[in-house]
């Protein structure tokens, strides 16, 4: 029997199912369930701040203990839970959803005593047996019936005047949002703003003196540090679980992902809840789990607080995010690419294209390698994207690039980043040409006007079109495919118009002692650099 694949799940959603499909919605609340009341575990002890008391307008924090000072495992987490839990909330959302029409019921003869039974369970009625008569449409078989649906999640208060942080997927599409505090108090909430890129939303309730918590420095969290997760798993009310920081800097699916991985038990319904360090500071927002069955297996992901704090600040100020925009297409510098470009190490972000925008205005060129941004070294393209996003719009930022072995200083005035990004097109199929030649594991031919029209590129483009790629070649392993166009080669990226041009650049790179050559590839008009091995066997 094949093993069930592990699935990345948002951690809100009801985990009653048996690993049916990836969960993408928040936890569905039982329709007939009575309103949640505060349980003894949720009730605030007499010495614990309650809703309505902002603790002298100071954030809640961990009590001073010897274990906290020594950064060792405490005998109990109870003091920490008691101190910060009043700021953790349950979130209930309500939305009108369309109930899918259910078909495929058995064909029953008119007047059958089973007709009512199957109709009550939503199966399609026999033809002509709808409640509106022979010509009417049956609501059980022909169309869905809109209904109100509730869902549950978690969140936490970050200010005495009622700002609440949660996940965007917890409140997305909701008609109404209700916040429940640990003492059972409920308040209506409004959405201040949300950011699907980081899955963060900021809510606001009408209040002046709520207990609240603050963000800590997620960059200071170390692998092995103790953490505490609080939330509303499976709609059970406030629950605590502990674990350690298992890893940092995890990427899932987003451009700005910076997740803390933890083995603290996180389940569906925990979405939007806080991950605390031992000082009672929020270092992450619980967002997703990796699971083969919908339940916790000790692999949970919390968006790092340093990312969240930046997003929340912009949502509170503008109601939306405002990220810096450099205006370049970039890719990582691989070891092969570093060798092809004559670099000592694989670092920085390689500029594949410079369309009209801030970078072009500052004189940046395709083939440049961005090695510093705002005075800080750039390790890779992901680090650059985050640095640019956090930089202020409209300010001139110093940028250093490596160009043909020389360092060039530029000042780039950042614009506002385009949120919508175009998807790349799939590989095209090219008609065989009689002029094709073999090189680097590829069948190449000069780009003609007819082939350019076939590929949907400018008739004036020059280069070599890839007609086929040997499956076991380095070109295939680097993703080069039929329909790609080689427009340049070498450290200086001189144009390549014929196979002789490419052969000359390969010889030049070998004579310089390099084992790879950089090729400038165009796919459906989108450029990128690829380094191919030229080592002679």
Which positions are catalytic? Answer: 169, 199, 271
Paired strand residues for 91: 153, 179
Alpha carbon distances (Å) from 112 to 92, 107, 108, 384: 43, 10, 6, 69
Of 441, 442, 439, 459, which is closest to residue 450 (Cα–Cα)?
Answer: 459
Chain centroid, CA 439 distance in Å: 39
Q: CA-CA distance, 205 to 192, in Å (whole number)?
A: 10
Which contiguous run of DSSP H or E holds residue 454? helix 449-455
Of 223, 233, 230, 232, which is closest to residue 296 (Cα–Cα)?
Answer: 233
Of 204, 193, 150, 183, which is closest to residue 43 (Cα–Cα)?
Answer: 183
Helical segments of 126-235, H only? 168-171
Place of tokens 């370049």: 328
Phi-psi domain of 219 (left: phi exceeds 0; alpha: psi -120 through 50; beta: other): alpha
Q: Are 267 and 288 in contact (CB under 8 A)?
A: no
Which contiguous run of DSSP H or E holds residue 509? helix 499-511
Question: Rg of the chain over CA atoms, in angstroms?
Answer: 29
Q: CA-CA distance, 320 to 195, in Å (whole number)?
A: 7
Q: Are 328 and 361 in contact (CB under 8 A)?
A: no
Place of tokens 């040997």: 470
Q: What is the DSSP string of 10-58?
A: ES-S-TTSSS-S---SPEEPPTTPPPP---TTTSPPTTS--TT--TTT-
């Amino acid at each position: 029997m094949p093993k069930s694949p592990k699935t990345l799940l948002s951690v809100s959603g009801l985990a009653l199912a048996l690993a049916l499909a990836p969960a993408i919605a928040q936890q569905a609340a039982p329709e007939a369930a009575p309103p949640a009341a505060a349980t003894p575990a949720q009730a605030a002890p007499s010495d614990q701040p309650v809703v309505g008391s902002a603790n002298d307008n100071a954030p809640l924090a961990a009590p001073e203990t010897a274990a906290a000072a020594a950064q060792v495992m405490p005998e109990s987490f109870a003091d920490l839970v008691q101190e910060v839990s009043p700021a953790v909330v349950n979130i209930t959302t309500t939305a009108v959803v369309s109930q899918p029409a259910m078909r495929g019921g058995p064909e029953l003869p008119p007047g059958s005593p089973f007709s009512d039974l199957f109709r009550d369970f939503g199966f399609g009625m026999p033809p002509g047996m709808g409640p509106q008569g022979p010509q009417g449409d049956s609501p059980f078989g022909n169309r869905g019936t809109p209904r109100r649906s509730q869902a549950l999640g978690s969140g936490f208060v970050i200010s005495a005047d009622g700002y609440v942080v949660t996940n965007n997927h917890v409140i997305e599409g909701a008609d109404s949002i209700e916040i429940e505090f640990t003492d059972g108090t409920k308040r209506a909430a409004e959405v201040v703003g949300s950011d699907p890129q980081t899955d963060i939303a900021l809510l606001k309730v009408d209040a002046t003196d709520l207990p609240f918590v603050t963000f800590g420095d997620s960059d200071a969290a170390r692998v092995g540090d103790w953490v505490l997760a609080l939330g509303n798993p499976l709609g059970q009310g406030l629950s605590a679980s502990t674990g350690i920081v298992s890893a940092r800097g995890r990427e899932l699916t987003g451009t700005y992902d910076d997740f803390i991985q933890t083995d603290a038990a996180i389940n569906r319904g925990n979405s939007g809840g806080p991950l605390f360090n031992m000082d009672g500071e929020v270092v992450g927002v619980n967002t997703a789990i990796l699971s083969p069955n919908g339940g916790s297996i000790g692999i949970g992901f919390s968006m790092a607080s340093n990312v969240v704090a930046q997003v929340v600040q912009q949502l509170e100020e503008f109601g939306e995010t405002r990220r810096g925009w450099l205006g370049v297409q970039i890719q990582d510098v691989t070891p092969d690419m570093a060798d092809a470009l004559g670099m000592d190490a694989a670092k920085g972000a390689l500029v594949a294209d410079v369309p009209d925008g801030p970078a072009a205005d500052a004189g940046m060129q395709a083939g440049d390698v961005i090695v510093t941004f705002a005075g800080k070294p750039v390790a890779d393209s992901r680090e650059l994207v985050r640095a640019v996003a956090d930089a202020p719009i409209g300010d001139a930022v110093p940028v250093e690039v490596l160009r043909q072995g020389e360092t060039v200083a530029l000042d780039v005035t950042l614009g506002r980043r385009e949120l919508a990004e175009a998807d790349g097109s799939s590989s095209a199929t090219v008609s065989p040409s009689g002029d094709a030649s073999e090189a680097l594991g590829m069948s190449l031919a000069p780009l003609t006007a007819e082939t350019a029209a076939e590929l949907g590129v400018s008739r004036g483009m020059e280069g070599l079109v890839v007609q086929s790629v040997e499956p076991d070649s380095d070109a295939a392993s680097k993703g080069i495919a039929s329909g790609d166009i080689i427009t340049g080669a070498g450290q200086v990226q001189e144009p390549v118009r014929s196979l002789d041009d490419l052969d000359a650049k390969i010889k030049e790179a070998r004579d310089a002692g390099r084992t790879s050559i950089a090729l400038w590839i165009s796919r459906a008009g989108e450029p990128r650099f690829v380094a191919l091995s030229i080592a002679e066997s």
